[in-house]
Amino acid sequence: MDDYVPFCGTPPLPSELMSRWTFDPVLLAGLAIALALVIRLTSGPARRQALGGWALVAILFVSPLCAASMALFSARVGQHLLLTLVAAPLLATMLRRAPPPAFSAAAFAALFWLWHVPGPYALTLQSDLVYWAMHLSLLGAVVTLWASFRQSVETMPFATILSAAATSAQMTLLSVLLISSTRLWHPWHALTTGPFGMTALGDQVLAGALMWVAGGLIFSALVALLAYRYFALSRRSA
């Protein structure tokens, strides 16, 4: 394992970061297959949204952000938040049937915690197979979650609100643990953050702050919007 090079390459220096694009043939082939599926399974406005989601996914793994995630935990969290909060809702238009929101929220929470705690996270830096297991399982779970929100907001409004609230709460809890911890969760980054002008613990705090603001607060806003809509409809029915 000493000679293993992570999928996104070795941690870059700031001066070389913008030259670190990833044009791996397997990655490009996978993106091409995914593009064909988007075109095959969607049409009209749904296709435009799904294509936007596909384009963002491609950027997240081809662009220098992939290499940055090897040096900074905060960059990895930023990558995951863009997948979770931007790409996934767009890709969710591809799914015509989704599980109930409570099931989808539980599955996403389990995977989100699994891939951000120390042991499994370290494995993603030691194996391409584990690295892609992380990203594909996370993306699949969160696309399903957003699809369940879309499909259940009319038929199961209260369950959708509770599931969105639970998602917000679990992301907020993880972010608070990252911010308040005095222990470094991911020793890999102890040697990679210095060139970027921060300590590994500072990078961890930044990752938690990003997760709290972009994750917890956006889902909190979603909960508020769903609750407002639910009570407005209830008043009209009454």
> Would 185 be classed as within a structural domain?
yes
Q: Compute the distance between CA of residue 212 and CA of residue 74 in angstroms, rounded to an integer.
A: 12
Calculate what percentage of the chain has a pLDDT beyond 90: 80
Residue 50, pLDDT above cutoff 80: yes
Dump pLDDT digits (tens) for 60-118: 999 999 999 999 999 999 999 999 999 999 999 999 999 999 999 999 999 999 999 99
CB contact at 8 A, 83 and 57: yes
> Would 120 be classed as within a structural domain?
yes
> Would 79 be classed as within a structural domain?
yes
Residue 201, pLDDT above cutoff 70: yes
> Would 29 be classed as within a structural domain?
yes
Comparing 230 with 34, the larger pLDDT belongs to 34
Dump pLDDT digits (tens) for 116-161: 999 999 999 999 999 999 999 999 999 999 999 989 888 888 899 8
Residue 238, pLDDT above cutoff 60: no
pLDDT of residue 233: 67
State the alpha helices, DSSP H only, in the chain: 25-41, 44-62, 65-71, 73-82, 88-91, 101-114, 118-124, 128-152, 157-180, 200-210, 218-237
Query: Which of 5-9, 72-76, 220-224 comes out lowest in average pLDDT?
Result: 220-224
> Would 2 be classed as within a structural domain?
no
Find the mean pLDDT for residues 30-49.
96
Across the chain, mean pLDDT equals 92
> Would 31 be classed as within a structural domain?
yes
- List C-alpha distances in Å: 227 to 39, 90, 117, 144, 156: 34, 22, 32, 21, 12
Q: How many domains does the chain have?
A: 1
DSSP letters, 2-58, are TT---TT-SPPPGGGGGG-----HHHHHHHHHHHHHHHHH--HHHHHHHHHHHHHHH
Find the mean pLDDT for residues 39-66.
96
Q: Compute the distance between CA of residue 227 and CA of residue 16 in angstroms, rounded to an integer.
A: 47
Task: State the angle between helix axes of 200-210 and 73-82 in degrees (0 to 180), rounded to the nearest 10.
Answer: 20
Positive or negative: CA dihedral 225, 177, 59, 43: negative
Domain that holds residue 221: 15-237
> Would 5 be classed as within a structural domain?
no
pLDDT of residue 218: 80
